[in-house]
């Protein structure tokens, strides 16, 4: 679901980024007002969960892949505004350091995965958890919410892809950016997310939520405290060590091909906006580390990403405490 650069026009990217600015501003304001300072460091743990979830690629027949996002999970744990910031942080690091998702398309990716997904998922979670009380209601609500959330995000991405050939064409009449209309993009995106990728999101959300509720209940926004248990630290370490399982899924997610592969996927040509578009050289592209094997590089990338989030938000939490004092 990570939209690369040059699949969307610069105009579309600008609109999506502008739409996210007030969302980020409101989210930061809400976090400052509603989330205790000791909980702010937990945003780093949430970002790490999302980052790691997106490294576990799941294969789909036909050669494409997808992944969970964890947006609803973070929303259930810390609230939807915290989830917005945590997932946005994960997407930013992925784009800048690992080349996963576009720089210009950052606003669009955040709109889909850091706004639509957690807020849609959390809304359903709230409705269901109120109707079905107790732990069972929370787990059912989180599961259904995560499924609807990721599919709502996939639908938004499909629409963003699908409107490009209708809006932006070159002098020869060929699409300049994504060449696939809504009749192709919507069923292509939803086919995987309504089935395999949606199931992956549900399993990840319920499994992690159940584990956190049992071993680190203080991580949740409605509980006091803000420390991570030893069990949770071990769990994060286990996730990091298991990330190379994502390498077993061969192929690329739909809509994330390089420009050189567009012609081979049925378009028959490479759109001019892709050949002459924006390019970003990531330091560790596709989670690879120069001089290291794929597995080792993947694990090291997971360590780097998780450490960045945990340290960053811990520093922000300490700064917030000092400012309040």
* 246-268 pLDDT, tens digit each: 998 877 887 787 767 776 665 67
Q: At residue 61, does pLDDT exceed 80?
A: no
Q: State percent of the chain over pLDDT 70.
A: 95
Rounded CA-CA distance 281/201 in Å is: 30
Q: Is 254 helix (H, G, I), strand (E, B) or coil?
A: coil
Q: At residue 8, does pLDDT exceed 80?
A: yes
Q: At residue 222, does pLDDT exceed 70?
A: yes
Is the pTM for the entire model greater than 0.75? yes
**What average pLDDT score do residues 227-246 get?**
92
For residue 121, count CB atoms less than 10 angstroms from its CB and return exposed for 0-12, middle for 13-18, buried for 19 or more. buried
Q: At residue 211, does pLDDT exceed 70?
A: yes
Q: Which of 225, 210, 226, 297 is nearest to 45 (CA)?
A: 226
Can you give the pLDDT at residue 217?
87
Can you give the pLDDT at residue 59?
83
Q: At residue 196, does pLDDT exceed 80?
A: yes
pLDDT tens digits, 17-26: 999 999 999 9
Can you give the pLDDT at residue 37?
81
Rounded CA-CA distance 280/168 in Å is: 22
**Identity of the highest mean pLDDT range in 37-46, 62-71, 295-304:** 295-304
Give the model's confidence band at 319: pLDDT under 50 very low, under 70 low, under 90 confident, else very high. Answer: confident
Can you give the pLDDT at residue 62?
61
Rounded CA-CA distance 72/320 in Å is: 25
Can you give the pLDDT at residue 63?
61
pLDDT tens digits, 96-140: 999 999 999 999 999 999 999 999 999 999 999 999 989 999 999
- Which residues sit opposite 59 in a β-bridge? 65
Q: State percent of the chain over pLDDT 90.
A: 75
Can you give the pLDDT at residue 263?
66
Rounded CA-CA distance 118/290 in Å is: 35
**What average pLDDT score do residues 11-15 get?**
97
**What average pLDDT score do residues 266-285 get?**
85
Can you give the pLDDT at residue 311?
95
Q: Which of 255, 258, 277, 261 is nearest to 170 (CA)?
A: 277
Element (H, E) at 128: helix 117-131
């Amino acid at each position: 679901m990570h939209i690369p650069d040059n699949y969307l026009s610069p105009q579309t990217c600008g609109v999506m980024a502008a739409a996210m600015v007030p969302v980020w501003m409101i989210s930061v304001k809400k976090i400052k007002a509603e989330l205790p300072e000791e909980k702010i460091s937990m945003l780093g743990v949430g970002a790490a969960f999302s980052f790691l979830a997106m490294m576990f690629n799941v294969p789909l027949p036909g050669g494409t892949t997808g992944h969970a996002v964890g947006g609803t999970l973070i929303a259930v744990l810390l609230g939807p505004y915290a989830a917005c910031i945590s997932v946005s942080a994960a997407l930013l690091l992925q784009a800048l350091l690992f080349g996963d998702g576009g720089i210009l398309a950052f606003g669009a990716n955040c709109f889909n995965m850091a706004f639509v997904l957690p807020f849609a998922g959390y809304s359903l979670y709230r409705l269901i958890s109120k109707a079905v009380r107790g732990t069972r209601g929370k787990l059912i609500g989180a599961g259904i919410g995560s499924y609807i959330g990721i599919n709502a995000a996939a639908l938004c991405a499909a629409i963003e892809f699908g409107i490009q050939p209708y809006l932006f064409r070159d002098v020869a009449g060929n699409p300049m950016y994504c060449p696939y209309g809504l009749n192709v993009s919507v069923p292509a995106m939803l086919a995987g997310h309504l089935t395999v990728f949606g199931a992956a999101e549900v399993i990840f959300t319920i499994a992690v939520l159940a584990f956190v509720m049992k071993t680190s209940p203080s991580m949740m926004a409605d509980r006091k405290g803000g420390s991570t248990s030893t069990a949770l630290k071990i769990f994060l370490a286990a996730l990091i060590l298991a990330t190379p399982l994502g390498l077993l899924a061969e192929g690329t997610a739909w809509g994330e091909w390089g420009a050189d592969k567009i012609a081979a996927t049925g378009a028959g040509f490479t759109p001019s906006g892709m050949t002459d578009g924006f390019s970003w050289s990531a330091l560790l592209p596709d989670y690879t580390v120069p001089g290291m094997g794929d597995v080792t590089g993947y694990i090291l990338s997971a360590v780097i990403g998780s450490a960045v989030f945990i340290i960053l938000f811990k520093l922000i939490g300490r700064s917030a405490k000092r400012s309040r004092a």
